[in-house]
Amino acid sequence: MKRCLRYYDVDTQPKTLNTDKHSSYAHALSRLKKEGRLRADVEQRQVKYLNNGIESDHAPIKKLVVSSGGFKIGKRAWSTIKGLESLRMLNKGQFDFWLRHDEGKTMQS
């Protein structure tokens, strides 16, 4: 949750968070509210099926990880999954947002 929220100021954070019914989300949200990292008026909607579109999008990655026998080292897992997700985003045409954000910046050596 901290990673997701770090890109938002408290004023621009979402007013509603959709989560499944796992108990850890309620604890994490209350803790973030106490720390001041999450707006106090955020509403948590615990509906089992609202995140199905997002969860099913990761199914191909999960199949690849299971078929490869899993990961033994966390750092390798992170970089491999990041690379697989990047390739999937390219194939799906989802890198348009990245290209638009970098238009004004050029690298000069």
Q: Binning pLDDT at 50, 70 and 90, where does residue 99 land?
A: low
In angstroms, the CA 89 to CA 78 distance is 16
> Quick check: 46 and 19 in contact, CB under 8 A?
yes
The SS3 call for residue 65 is helix
Q: What are 29-43's pLDDT values in tens digits?
A: 999 999 988 999 999
Q: What are 64-94's pLDDT values in tens digits?
A: 777 777 777 878 888 888 888 788 778 777 6
> Quick check: 28 and 16 in contact, CB under 8 A?
no
Tokens standing for 64? 């690849």
- pLDDT score for 20: 80
Residue 59: CA atoms inside 13 Å, Cβ hemisphere, count? 6
Answer left, alpha or beta for residue 60, where phi above 0 means left and psi between -120 and 50 means alpha: alpha
